[in-house]
């Protein structure tokens, strides 16, 4: 950076900050705050959470280079002086009957439309270009849940909201259904007051409602703690292997992500409103899909056609086998005789992961047709782990009356 650049950035520019926030609103961001690039004081908690293994298989969270970058923004942008934090709301209501109808799958609201990474990133880059136009020579770097940055901590420091007991960032007039984007700038801007209050009070609705017990309350420092390895969002998206047996019945019909801890939050009940962003509107087949129809579509797709089916959708992150695994669990939790034919097909899927969860689901159904399907596959299956899974499913069927 030149000497002239250093002089340009040496004093906060209130007018630039005011204009930037106005521009953010024009781009559709409902909230915009500014904070300093100072090192976070959240790392001790974060490292402890990692050391306890609460992050599960998300190894990218625990890499040493990732940890060091989260601790100091200057390792991401050496000349960073300010951080702009924006919120983009995504709430869409559930269709009639969902999630109460076990024959229909529930997809987390954020994943029913286009991929938010692309939507928010595009707007942030437009905002960065605006800054460059106002302050020639300025440099910025935009992130939307795509780099080792503690976005929610930065958002709290920028005055956007507080950490709720459900670990979500909650704003007192907007609730928590929003994505957080960050724009690192090498321009000095006046920082907003951080959000210091905990406005959850004595409410424990999210902890009480979490089916798997993933939410663990607050630690001694007041920070909310989540065991990600028990979170339905982790289990249905990030986990690549088998879902732990004891957690499968607790997932219900949620096949991609989970909104339960947000759905019961009084702040969302009072303030959440449908998004005005067309890109987040639910795509056909993703707004409470019929589980059997969804299973049939996935079973008829290979990995390439799966990627095309969910092009520019967050759902592609789960991959074909992962999403089919989740649908099989939901079919088993529904437990109706109607699911047996599609699960019988699942027993022959190319993916061992899918076959094992189809077997479990048939065990949950426990009807004569389900037992027959399991027994027939037991005679043909050569994979030892699958034989064990089928054996357990058959034992499960012995103790469960037919639906």
Catalytic amino acids? 145
How open is the CA angle 316-181-79, to the nearest 5 degrees?
A: 120
How open is the CA angle 60-64-65, to the nearest 5 degrees?
A: 80
Under 8 Å CB-to-CB from 130, ≥6 apart: which residues? 20, 23
Distance CA 82, CA 395 (A): 60
Buried b (16+ CB within 10 A) or exposed e, 27-50: bbbbbbbbbbbeebebbebbeebb
What tokens were used for 91? 């709430």
Q: Is the dihedral of CA 152, 154, 158, 162 positive or negative?
A: positive
Per the DSSP assignment, residues forming a β-bridge with 34 are 84
Distances (CA, A) of 232 to 209, 261, 327: 12, 11, 13
Nearest by Cα to 83 from 136, 147, 2: 147
Cβ-contact 309, 339 below 8 angstroms = no
127: left (phi over 0), alpha (psi -120 to 50) or beta: alpha
Beta strands in 37-171 (DSSP E): 82-89, 106-107, 140-143, 162-163, 169-170
Q: Whose structure tokens read 């009807």?
A: 367
């Amino acid at each position: 950076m030149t000497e002239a650049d250093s002089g340009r950035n040496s004093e906060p520019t209130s007018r630039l900050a005011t204009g930037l926030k106005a521009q953010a609103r024009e781009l559709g961001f409902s909230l915009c705050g500014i904070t300093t690039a100072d090192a976070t004081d959240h790392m001790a908690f974060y490292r402890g959470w990692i050391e306890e293994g609460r992050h599960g298989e998300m190894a990218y969270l625990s890499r040493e280079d990732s940890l060091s970058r989260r601790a100091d923004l200057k390792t991401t942008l050496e000349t960073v002086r300010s951080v702009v934090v924006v919120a983009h709301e995504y709430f869409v209501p559930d269709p009639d009957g969902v999630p109460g109808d076990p024959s229909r799958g529930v997809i987390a609201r954020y994943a029913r439309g286009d991929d938010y990474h692309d939507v928010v990133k595009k707007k942030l880059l437009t905002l960065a270009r605006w800054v460059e136009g106002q302050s020639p020579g300025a440099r910025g770097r935009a992130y939307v849940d795509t780099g080792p940055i503690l976005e929610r901590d930065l958002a709290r420091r920028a005055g956007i909201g507080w950490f709720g007991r459900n670990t979500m960032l909650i704003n007192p007039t907007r609730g928590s259904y929003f994505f957080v984007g960050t724009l690192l700038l090498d321009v000095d801007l006046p920082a907003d007051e951080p959000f210091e209050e905990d406005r959850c009070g004595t409410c424990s609705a999210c902890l009480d409602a979490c089916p798997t017990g993933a939410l663990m309350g607050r630690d001694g420092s007041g920070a909310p703690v989540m065991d990600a390895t028990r979170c339905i969002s982790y289990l249905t998206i990030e986990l690549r292997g088998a879902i732990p047996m004891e957690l499968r019945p607790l997932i219900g019909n949620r096949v991609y992500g989970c909104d339960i801890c947000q759905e019961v939050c009084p702040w969302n009940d009072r303030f959440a409103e449908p998004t005005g962003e067309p890109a987040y509107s639910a795509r056909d087949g993703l707004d409470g899909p019929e589980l059997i129809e969804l299973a049939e579509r996935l079973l008829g797709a290979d990995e390439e056609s799966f990627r095309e089916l969910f092009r520019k959708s967050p759902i592609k992150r789960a991959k074909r086998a992962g999403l089919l695994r989740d649908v099989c669990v939901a079919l088993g939790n529904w437990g109706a005789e109607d699911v047996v034919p599609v699960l019988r097909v699942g027993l022959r899927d190319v993916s061992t992961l899918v076959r094992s969860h189809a077997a479990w689901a048939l065990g949950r159904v426990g009807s004569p047709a389900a037992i027959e399907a399991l027994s027939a596959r037991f005679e043909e299956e050569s994979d030892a782990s699958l034989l064990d899974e089928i054996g357990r499913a058959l034992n499960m069927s012995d103790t469960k009356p037919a639906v």
